[in-house]
């Protein structure tokens, strides 16, 4: 499992989880969105531009 806190959001992902590869995004303990990576496709919920930017940073840093 991976977890990264950035910009007031928590990004969680599990190695070996079901496909497609995705990240769960939480704010204040509530699930905001499930986002497929690395192509950044919102599978459910809502993601602001800021969340998408932070997620892209994680991908660029090689954490995802």
| Max Cα–Cα distance, the chain, nearest Å | 28
pLDDT tens per residue, the chain (64 residues)?
A: 899 999 999 999 998 778 889 999 999 999 999 999 989 999 999 999 999 999 999 999 999 8
- Residue showing tokens 């590869």: 21
Tally DSSP H helices, then E strands, for the chain. Answer: 1, 5
Q: What is the pLDDT of residue 30?
A: 97
């Amino acid at each position: 499992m991976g977890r990264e806190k950035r910009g007031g959001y928590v990004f969680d992902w599990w190695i070996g989880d079901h496909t497609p590869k995705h990240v769960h995004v939480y704010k204040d303990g509530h699930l905001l969105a499930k986002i497929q990576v690395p192509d950044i496709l919102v599978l459910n919920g809502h993601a602001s531009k800021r969340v998408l930017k932070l997620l892209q940073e994680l991908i660029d840093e090689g954490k995802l």
